[in-house]
A and B are shown apart, each in its own frame.
Chain A
Amino acid sequence: DIQMTQSPSSLSASVGDRVTITCRASQDIRNVLSWYQQKPGKAPKRLIYAASTLQSGIPSRFSGSGSGTEFTLTISSLQPEDFAAYYCLQHNTYPRTFGQGTKVEIK
């Protein structure tokens, strides 16, 4: 199975900060990766697919980049509603596998 290693596991940031989350795949997954946001008690929401394509309705402060084995999710200017957990998902190969998640907390 492909292992997805996400870092950091948690971070503290302030409103307006630039935040970067990284996901590394244990083998080449091309650009077949999505990013999700999950708020407490809610279902996840897809932010990005195909590594860098913004889901419809998602603010442009979210962006994704990378290919092969290294990927990043960037929030250009953190907003109060962005405090949440974030997960990457590789869907290049079965079984699909998620990263372990990054919790973004208020500093």
Chain B
Amino acid sequence: EVQLVESGGGSVQPGGSLRLSCAASGFIFNDPYMNWVRQAPGKGLEWIGLIRDKGGRYTTEYAASVRGRFTISRDDSKNLLFLQMDSLKIEDTAVYYCTTDSRGSPDYWGQGTLVTVSS
């Protein structure tokens, strides 16, 4: 059974940093691309980025809203996906989901972790 478990969420002040992790199990982690998607309270879904696999040289793509502030990485040896978030803004407050990628789009999703940016 595919499982994705996000962790690392919490409260942080504007301008601060946070690192989210996503622990994967139940599939060959180094196979698929992986995404991060977020959802602000009461709002819709926002795709924020993706990391390709080893064959794709672990290259990344980002939404404009986070490019230059967020960094996605992965450790295939530990089945872990990361989201390093720097220079956080109030509008980054959201539930953050990690997802697998199959058939070209997010497939399995974690349960999400809440990040609150507030002074």
- Interface positions of A (Cβ within 8 A of B): 1, 32, 34, 36, 38, 43-46, 49-50, 53, 85, 87, 89, 91, 94-101
Apart from A34-B104, A36-B106: 9 A-B pairs, beta carbons within 8 A: A43-B109, A46-B105, A50-B104, A53-B103, A89-B45, A89-B47, A91-B104, A95-B64, A97-B47
Looking across the interface, which residue of chain A has its beta carbon closest to that of B109?
A43
Which listed residue (A45, A53, A98) contacts B47, Cβ 8 A? A98
Complex CA–CA separation, A101 to B43 (angstroms): 9
Looking across the interface, which residue of chain A has its beta carbon closest to that of B107?
A46
Interface size class of B (residues with CB under 8 A): 20 to 34
**Interface readout for B100-115 with A: 1 if CB under 8 Å, 0 if not?**
0001111101111000
Q: Name 28 A/B residue pairs within 8 A (Cβ), A-sorted.
A: A1-B64, A34-B103, A34-B105, A34-B106, A36-B106, A38-B45, A43-B109, A43-B110, A43-B111, A43-B112, A44-B109, A46-B105, A46-B106, A49-B104, A49-B105, A50-B103, A50-B104, A85-B44, A89-B47, A89-B106, A95-B47, A95-B62, A96-B47, A97-B47, A98-B45, A98-B47, A100-B44, A101-B45
Residues of chain B lying within 8 A (CB to CB) of residue A94: 50, 61
Looking across the interface, which residue of chain A has its beta carbon closest to that of B61?
A94
* B97 at the A interface (CB under 8 A): yes
A32, B64: Cβ atoms closer than 8 Å: no
* B46 at the A interface (CB under 8 A): yes
Nearest Cβ distance between residue B22 and chain A, in whole angstroms?
12
- Interface positions of B (Cβ within 8 A of A): 35, 37, 44-47, 50, 61-64, 97, 103-107, 109-112
Complex CA–CA separation, A38 to B45 (angstroms): 10
Helix, strand, loop or mixed for chain B's interface?
strand
Residues of chain A lying within 8 A (CB to CB) of residue B97: 43-44
Looking across the interface, which residue of chain B has its beta carbon closest to that of A98?
B45
Residues of chain B lying within 8 A (CB to CB) of residue A91: 104-105
